[in-house]
Structure 1
Amino acid sequence: MSPSAHLALINFFTGDIQGGLGPFLATWLAASGHWSPARTGAVMTAIGVFALLLNGPAGAIVDHARHPRALLAAACGAILLGTLMIVPAAHDLVWILLSQCLAAAGGILLLPALTLFTLGIVGKAHFPGQQGRNQAFNHAGIVFAAILIGLGSHWLGAATPFWIFGAMAFGAILSVLWTPLHAFNGRRAHGWEENEPDEVEHRSGMGSILRNGRLALLAVALGLFNLANGYMLALVAQRLVAAGRDGGSWLAGYVIVAQLTMIPVALWAGSVAERSGRRRLLMVACLVLPVRAFFSAFVTDPFWLILGEVLDGVSSGLIGVAVPLVVADLTWGSGRTQTALGAVNTGQGVGGALSGLAGGAVVTWFGWQGAFLALAVPAAAAAALVFWLEESREVKTMPAGLEAGEEAGG
């Protein structure tokens, strides 16, 4: 079995577990623990803040990891343990917080660890195509889990997502451990000379990341993108409920449509990024989002709104492929790629966290149509920032020698 096939399996099983239980947790707490919306919302916010603060440190941990396969397995194990711990704890606030913070830590660690693992197996030259395949299998895993949850809920009830998430995490652990040790090369993963001793590291100081203007521009653009994108689907579902429609059923269908769209988009994006660069992908992703916002503002028929989720699949699918490629381009050889990816993910997370607050507020102020139009503003701003972001594919790699502030040694 080729290393690329191992990566496909890992991404398939980790697709649905990276983001945690999310809305499934809120539904289960309300059904099994009789939690109020206010109490559930407070817990979800606390878990979200914890995860947000963990992005940067998680990337730094991965950058210094000597055994990324074990780190990947540990991240999946944390998600598995956190998921299974919650089943008997519907009434215990502290236990819920501990279990979900553990699962969130695993999920946050998973993305940079998987990026490093991919780079160490295929190398940077083949990273764009492999990242496209990774994301395609990732979305396929999400669709597979969603179908299983939909079918299993009839027999297992509200706890179905926990068992499906646990099974997916267990499958991910087996897939990681099944990957041969010799497939990964740590020096290849960082862009260092492979014929040098393993203990020789060319690691730039943290200042090289903090002073990188293009990384900062990318983080701000992605924060604006997520500010517009994060709550848009929830607004669509809420407007359907307000109109007397079955918002829950349509929401499930929209999620599956978006994820199915992301599969071919990710494969296409990996190919385009390899041939034509990354900036084009980011531009298309950010320009599609305000189009989706305008479409959702003026279309209320739930059937035609499916087209809006196709647009969601296009924009989100492109972002998922392009962002790790740009970060790798801008930091290659520095030994800080995953630290930078964690910092950029923090920017995305801040935008996503504020999206619900902003979305709820603009509905109150401007009504449903005005809310979607308001969310188009940060989406357009994200497109404007990406327009000023230079193409990263031709960025020179970091020099092998030590720079000012650079660390060395094993």
Structure 2
Amino acid sequence: MADQISTDVRRSLIALATLNFFLADARDGLGPFLDGFLATHGWQPFTLGVVATVGGILGMIATPFFGALVDASDHKRTLIIIPVLLVTAMALWTLATPNNFSVFGGQSATAIVGAVIGPALMGLTLGLVGERRFTDQVSRNEFWNHAGNVFSLAAIYLGSMYFGLNGVVGLMVMTAAAAILATLAIDPRHIDNRVARGMNTHGADEGPSGFSVLTHSKGLILLALVLMIFHFGNAPISRLIAQNFSIQLGSPFRTTAITTGVSQVAMIVVALAAPRLISRFGLASIFIVGLMALPIRGAIAGSFSNFAAIYPVQILDGIGAGLIGIATPLAAERILSGTGRFNVGLGAIMTVQGIGASSSNLVAGWLTDKGGYSLAYWVHGGVAALALVLFIFGRKAIAPPLKREQAATG
């Protein structure tokens, strides 16, 4: 791609920013509000863990297949629009009738169709900007995504305060519509589908590598294992905080809006700083900082039970999850550069990390039932330290320098 961005392409990038802003609310349905909402309707922590686990398992099974679909498809906008419509419909169903059928059915369907959005968005982004601008654009995507989350949380806080459940429903419909319009505003002619799947810009006759490249890549395997352990530790903590304080304060939507909003504001700062931090200190250093944040977070959450503790706990969530969320697709793109298997590789990584996240929900629910929320925080924060150790030993394979950086220093 040329160094100068044309006016037409810039319009597509503005539409991409708008998509990320509204997709923050449209891609996950009820998202962080689900646990607080169901907890106030009598659902127990272990049952909520089962709901999250079932959805997680279905989503992780579907993700690599959807990654392969994204690699092969020239219709990446469609692979965002259809899931947004279905996820919104499932969330509205759950809100209207929060029974076993709607909750388990709706969340299962949400997990399956929602699994395509992540690979589709990353493929679309890479196809628009190319490898050279990918780091900066992923950070911009994350900035607008977290900004959209903060906007959504504030809107849900106010909407639920003044209009109750109707305010939440209205917001979900509006953000889904806005996300779809933004997707349609991206000109498909600006998406290089060859680049979007991780192929080199040269060598027009070169085809994609075989799928065996995924299983023979040491870096990809180590990255997947690190993320599996990290998400086993990280996934349940915000859910448990939402359950705990929603019950204590009796206000699921407003309580979750505050707790989640703190982490999202921290993620905005992280997204702004990430490109410079990566350029200055390298991708491996960003991984180390992100992985270190989680054990500290678990220790603070396990030591303090008052509501004020959520501020340092959720700020650390923003730092840890924010940095890991940016670093993961960048590492996958570097590892798989030139293979033509970027999206299916990213999907495979998301599947393995989903194993950690899904299994953690059952463990966290069991720990909470047995020893309270504090025990679950300590255990999950402690387990996450293993991810840091594994990364340190495998960092050269997991976060290699860009190929152009290797050529410059070679």
TM-score, with normalisation over the residues of structure 2? 0.84
Correspondence for 1:7 among 10, 16, 26: 16
State whether structure 2 residue 25 is matched by structure 1 residue 16: yes
How has the CA–CA distance of structure 1 residues 354 and 4 changed in structure 2, closer, same or farther, with 3 Å as cutoff?
same
Query: What CA distance in whole angstroms lies between the structure 2 residues aligned with 1:272 and 1:290?
Result: 22
Q: Map 1:282-301; keep pairs closer than 5 Å.
A: 282-301=287-306
Deviation of 1:192 (Å): 3.2
How has the CA–CA distance of structure 1 residues 127 and 78 changed in structure 2, closer, same or farther, with 3 Å as cutoff?
same
Correspondence for 2:55 among 47, 53, 58: 47
Alignment deviations for residues 86-135 of structure 1 (CA, whole Å, 9 cap, x no partner): 56665682x66555444333321111101011101111111111111100
**Aligned residue for 2:123?**
116
Deviation of 1:143 (Å): 1.2
TM-score, with normalisation over the residues of structure 1? 0.84
Task: Indicate if the aligned counterparts of 1:262 and 1:314 stay in contact, CA closer than 8 A.
Answer: yes
Task: Indicate if the aligned counterparts of 1:132 and 1:271 stay in contact, CA closer than 8 A.
Answer: no
**Aligned residue for 2:208?**
203
Say how many residue pairs are matched.
391
CA RMSD, Structure 1 to Structure 2 (Å): 3.0
Deviation of 1:316 (Å): 0.9
Query: What CA distance in whole angstroms lies between the structure 2 residues aligned with 1:236 and 1:164?
Result: 24
State whether structure 2 residue 72 is matched by structure 1 residue 67: no
How has the CA–CA distance of structure 1 residues 176 and 274 changed in structure 2, closer, same or farther, with 3 Å as cutoff?
farther
Query: What CA distance in whole angstroms lies between the structure 2 residues aligned with 1:252 and 1:319?
Result: 22
Deviation of 1:240 (Å): 5.4
Correspondence for 1:349 among 348, 354, 359: 354
Task: Indicate if the aligned counterparts of 2:231 and 2:356 stay in contact, CA closer than 8 A.
Answer: yes
Task: Indicate if the aligned counterparts of 2:29 and 2:90 stay in contact, CA closer than 8 A.
Answer: no
134-143 vs 374-383, which moves further: 374-383
State whether structure 2 residue 114 is matched by structure 1 residue 78: no
Deviation of 1:84 (Å): 4.9
User: Counterpart amino acid of 2:73?
Assistant: A
How has the CA–CA distance of structure 1 residues 239 and 160 changed in structure 2, closer, same or farther, with 3 Å as cutoff?
closer
Task: Indicate if the aligned counterparts of 1:128 and 1:271 stay in contact, CA closer than 8 A.
Answer: no
Structure 2 unaligned regions, length at least 5: 1-6, 405-410
Query: What CA distance in whole angstroms lies between the structure 2 residues aligned with 1:250 and 1:124?
Result: 40
Deviation of 1:324 (Å): 0.5
Query: What CA distance in whole angstroms lies between the structure 2 residues aligned with 1:247 and 1:86?
Result: 18
User: Counterpart amino acid of 2:196?
Assistant: A
Going by fraction, where is helix more abundant, 1 or 2? Answer: 2
Task: Indicate if the aligned counterparts of 1:18 and 1:108 stay in contact, CA closer than 8 A.
Answer: no
Q: Map 1:3-402; keep pairs closer than 5 Å.
A: 3-22=12-31, 24-25=33-34, 44-84=52-92, 93=101, 99-194=106-201, 200=205, 202-236=207-241, 248=252, 250-363=255-368, 368-391=373-396, 392-394=399-401, 396=403
Query: What CA distance in whole angstroms lies between the structure 2 residues aligned with 1:96 and 1:305?
Result: 27
User: Counterpart amino acid of 1:5?
Assistant: I
Task: Indicate if the aligned counterparts of 1:77 and 1:169 stay in contact, CA closer than 8 A.
Answer: yes
252-261 vs 301-310, which moves further: 301-310
Structure 1 unaligned regions, length at least 5: 398-410
Deviation of 1:366 (Å): 5.3
Task: Indicate if the aligned counterparts of 2:242 and 2:259 stay in contact, CA closer than 8 A.
Answer: no
Higher relative contact order (CA 8 A, sep 6+): 2
Query: What CA distance in whole angstroms lies between the structure 2 residues aligned with 1:91 and 1:294?
Result: 35
How has the CA–CA distance of structure 1 residues 280 and 6 changed in structure 2, closer, same or farther, with 3 Å as cutoff?
same
Query: What CA distance in whole angstroms lies between the structure 2 residues aligned with 1:106 and 1:238?
Result: 26
183-192 vs 358-367, which moves further: 358-367
Query: What CA distance in whole angstroms lies between the structure 2 residues aligned with 1:332 and 1:108?
Result: 23
Deviation of 1:348 (Å): 1.9
Task: Indicate if the aligned counterparts of 1:273 and 1:281 stay in contact, CA closer than 8 A.
Answer: yes
Query: What CA distance in whole angstroms lies between the structure 1 residues aligned with 2:73 and 2:170?
Result: 30
